[in-house]
Structure 1
Amino acid sequence: MISLTSPVRTRAHGWPAGAKLAALAAATFALFLTSDLRLLAAALAGMVTLYALPGAQFFRAGMERLRVLWPFLAILALWHGVTATYAEGAEIVLRLLTAVGLANLATMTTALSEMIVVIRWLATPLRRLGLSTRAFELAIALVIRILPTLVQNGQRLSEAWRARSPRRPGWRVVVPFTLLALDDADHLAEALRARGGILETKET
């Protein structure tokens, strides 16, 4: 597994995880309240500025992690180009880039353990109802933790295909990618079983 947090230490690393996630939720909500392209473009510029403030290394690391969005952006651009709904397409693209960029910024400056604490706090009402939230908390943490690994696996498979063929990899890497994902899931399950699984322990 790789860590989502940035190797470059910033001031935001010291901010409370709950405050950062609350700000992220508020900013994302605000993005969906406006359809003004000027405001959305300003929000995107502000997001990029936040990446640039800590320095070039942080900026490059952040932009590299957003590369996974380009296939989706290309599909959106193609569709709205064909349907001649340019304004709607620009609105969706700007909103998507900004929202995901802000979410990535939050994960880059927040340790996974701090996120789990926030998730556990949010699940407190469920525990008071007698429900076990351990599996829920662990599932969210694992999704956050594993996604970068899946992205890297996909990139490595695509690069390996291009090194052996002039054709685009396309659907041809789906099967090996699926097998890699299943293999990672199997190893993860074994690691969880070796550590006692996800049985709920009584809190003192």
Structure 2
Amino acid sequence: MISLTSPVRTSAHCWPAGAKLLGLCIATAMLFAIDNLLVQGLVFAFVSLLYALPGKAFLFAGLRQMKLLWLFVFVVGLWHIWTAEYELGASIVLRMLSAVGLANLVTMTTRLSDMIDFVKKITIPLRWIGLNSQVLALAIALVIRLTPVLVERGGQLTHAWKARSTRVPNWRIISPFTVLALDDADHVAEALRARGGFNSLEEI
């Protein structure tokens, strides 16, 4: 598993995780309340500036982590071109890029342990209804850490397909991808059991 926190230090690395996550929630809500295309464009330009300010290394690292988003941008843009809803399509694309870009900035400038600690604190009241906040925090951590691993697995299967066939990769890679995902899940489960399982979380 890998960490998504950027090794390039910025001033945002020192900000509290709770403040950044709260700011992300507010900013995302405001993005969906904005209907003006020009304002959406200005917000996207501001988000792009936030990536560029720490330097090229930080900018390129951010772009690499957002590479999966470009497929959705292409599909949404193509659909709205097909339906001749150009302004609506541009607004949706800009809103999506800005929202995901801000979320990615928070991930890049916040240690996973800090986010887990914050989630534990704000979900303590949920223990009254039987929800283990520590298990929830661990689940969030696993999703954040393992998603890039699954993406890498998919890329490896795609490259393997291209090395053996001239045809474009299709649905046939779904089966081996599922097997690899289940195998990774089994390894993680074994690691958790070796450390005492979810019961060991009570000691954290």
Do they superpose with TM above 0.5?
Answer: yes
- Check conservation: 1:134, 1:200, Cα contact below 8 A: no
**Identical residues among aligned pairs (%):** 56
Q: 1 CA distance for matches of 2:161 and 2:201?
A: 46
Residues 131, 178 of structure 1: alpha-carbon distance in 2 compared, 3 angstrom cutoff? closer
Of 107-116 and 124-133, deviating more is: 124-133
* Residue 98 of structure 1, CA deviation: 0.7
* Residue 158 of structure 1, CA deviation: 1.8
Q: 1 CA distance for matches of 2:48 and 2:154?
A: 26
Segments ≥4 residues shifted beyond 6 Å: none
Q: 2 CA distance for matches of 1:59 and 1:72?
A: 20
* Residue 202 of structure 1, CA deviation: 5.6
Count of residues in correspondence between the two structures: 204
How high is the TM-score relative to the length of structure 1? 0.93
Give the structure 2 partner of residue 42 of structure 1. 42
Question: Aligned partner of 1:22: which letter?
Answer: L
Question: Aligned partner of 1:176: which letter?
Answer: P
How high is the TM-score relative to the length of structure 2? 0.93
- Check conservation: 1:6, 1:58, Cα contact below 8 A: yes
Q: 2 CA distance for matches of 1:140 and 1:60?
A: 25
SS in structure 2 at match of 1:61: helix
Mapping of 1:1-204 within 5 angstroms? Answer: 1-129=1-129, 131-199=131-199
Structure 1, unaligned stretches of length 5 or more?
Answer: none
Question: Aligned partner of 2:189: which letter?
Answer: A
Q: 1 CA distance for matches of 2:99 and 2:90?
A: 14
1:121-150 Cα distance to aligned partner (Å, 9 max, x none):
110211245542222221111111111111
Q: 2 CA distance for matches of 1:118 and 1:150?
A: 26
SS in structure 1 at match of 2:9: coil
* Residue 203 of structure 1, CA deviation: 7.4
Task: Tell me the C-alpha RMSD between the 2 structures.
Answer: 1.8
Q: 2 CA distance for matches of 1:135 and 1:164?
A: 42
Structure 2, unaligned stretches of length 5 or more?
Answer: none
- Check conservation: 1:132, 1:200, Cα contact below 8 A: no
Residues 193, 55 of structure 1: alpha-carbon distance in 2 compared, 3 angstrom cutoff? same
